[in-house]
Chains A and B, each alone.
Chain A
Amino acid sequence: MCGAEVISKVEAAWRVLDQVPDPEVPAISVRDLGIVRDVLLGDDGDLTIVVTPTYSGCPATEVINQSITDALAEAGLGPARVELRRAPAWTTDWISEAGREKLRAYGIAPPGPALAEGEQPIRFMARAPAIACPRCGSQQTERLSAFGSTACKSLYRCIACREPFEHFKPI
């Protein structure tokens, strides 16, 4: 094992989580998405993965939990369990820089900064800040709907290249 890096079980688990794809946006891992909040090693040697949900009604939650325990078991790090942590609430600000680039390359415009906390005036016919087309880079885009194929995305169209695309909306 000359030269082999000795890493802790927790670090090994983080590396495995780097490879567990989000089931709805498989271009990025659950770690890139920022939903894995902690990896804990219990006295019994078992791992606990602390996960926060993206949306209250995200139907992928159970699949994500299963993917995590399966991947850790496959890597010989099981048994592991997944624990839900609601607070603080997940924000798209927790998506990693690498994750944002992967989203763009996959054809999904990454989110800008999430709304600041506090009072929000109601805006009419909201004109969100220009979202660059992930295909051609044009800022000439228009929002078709705030709600898209999954809870976390909205629908856009590029006026320059005419391609529709999705935007990971800031939350």
Chain B
Amino acid sequence: MTASIQLQHSPRLTHLLRIADTALIQAQRLSEWCGHAPILEEDIALTNISLDLIGQTRGLLTHAGQLHAQGGGAAFDEDQLAFLRDERDYRNLTMAELPRGDFAFTVLRNLFLGTWLKLQWERLRDSSDAELAAIAGKALKEARYHQQHAADWVLRLADGTDESRQRVQAALAQLARYIPELFADDAADQAASANGWGPARTALREAWEAEVTAVFSECGLTLPAATKFVSTASNGVHTEHMGRILAEMQYLQRAYPNGVW
């Protein structure tokens, strides 16, 4: 039988999984648009972005499995880490696991997470971890296209019809409370910064706000002030939506352990 795998958490693993799992869960959400996007070109674009994110995740999770083994834990491969972890062992940003919503919600989330990931990759190119730096060098080129695509759509919808603008504003109201987690700071962030693995999340805030504001100011949107509430999926405490994602994502490996095609 293939049971759930158990992780031995460490600051280094947490730092890596926050990026890997954010990419993985965001990819899973984008894949839900396959066959459902408003136009064919968007169906292709969203699933292309999903595919890039899955590719980035594969490199990161393979690396995470090796680090886990070096830290005295079991050697897990990318598939075990993607499909056999329990909910509490995922470290994605909460924003990624929210239901896909409408198209406006999707492109605004893409802008928020796409900008966050692009800024991560830019800085991770200088990581003291050579493998992470190599993955980042490739991923950054892809992330620029993702951010551009999301920015174009946010502008088009916010500056479009009354209906499209209202939908973007509704999406902003829904997403706003999950923004502070993008820049939260804890022991894993401080260890990442001190050891040169990558930036603490707080270090991304200024650039993120500047880039998102650059888009918003073109179409009359305003970033809301940060709330005191900080969501917690990146600490393993997820929303009720995560279980449903995992139920779908993990179904085949749980039902048919080690199944391949």
**Which residues of A come within 8 Å of B, CB atoms?**
53, 55-59, 86-91, 114-115, 120, 122-126, 144-149, 151, 155, 169, 171
Contacts and interface: CB of A to CB of B under 8 A. Distances in A.
Contacts, number: 93
**Chain A at the B interface: SS class:** loop
B48 A147 contact: yes
Contacts of A59: 51
By size class, the interface of chain B is 35 or more
A83 B160 CA distance: 49
A89 B138 contact: yes
B152 A56 contact: no
A87 B142 contact: no
B151 A56 contact: no
A145 B134 CA distance: 28
Nearest to A115: B144
Interface in B93-138: 130-131, 133-135, 137-138
B144 A57 contact: no
B52 A56 contact: yes
Contacts of A57: 51-56, 58
Nearest to A59: B51
Interface in B137-159: 137-142, 144-145, 147-149, 151-152, 155-156
Contacts of B137: 86-89
B16 interface: no
A56 B138 contact: yes
